[in-house]
Amino acid sequence: MSYYIGKKTSLGFAEAVEKVTEELQKEGFGVITEIDVKETFKKKLDLDFRPYIILGACNPHYAHQALELDDKIGALLPCNFIVQKTDEGSEVFAMNPQYTMSKLLGDGIEEIAEAITVKVQNVLDRI
């Protein structure tokens, strides 16, 4: 098991970002942050970089449940999804909640982590 899950797609970069956002909404997530890494590197470092976006997604229901179990879990929120341009289309990856949360927090969070992982995988499966 890896700390991330994802897939490659033939979708263009902008189309992949739009599709990820739509699919997140279907699973009860909202995109609450968006970091354009390419733009940031150009502005701050004067470096050219491939199109790469980090979408910070949150499902309020699961965020609340997790925070009730461990008030420090906010350090792992929101769930980040990355979309990056490739020669063949795009790649979409996200943190694997089940792996990350269980490694860091142990057994008490397993049920929530598993439920979130199912939703994240549902998003990826529909891209």
How far, in Å, are 26, 81, 103, 121, 125 from residue 106 at the CA level?
Answer: 29, 23, 6, 21, 27
Is the pTM value of this prediction over 0.75? Answer: yes
Instruction: Report whether 44 contacts 56 (CB < 8 A).
Output: no
3-state secondary structure of 8: strand
Residue 77 is encoded by which pair of tokens?
Answer: 């929120």
Condensed to tens digits (0 to 9), the pLDDT of residues 89-98 reads: 999 999 998 8
| Domain map (residue ranges) of the chain | 4-125
Q: Domain 4-125, what architecture?
A: 2-Layer Sandwich (3.30)
For residue 112, the cross-strand partners are: none
**Torsion angle, alpha carbons of 110, 24, 92, 54, to 10:** -90
pLDDT at 37 over 80: yes
pLDDT at 47 over 90: yes
Over the chain, what is the mean pLDDT?
93
Return the H-helix or E-strand segment holding 92: strand 89-95
Give the integer Cα–Cα distance in Å for 95 and 60.
17
pLDDT at 15: 98
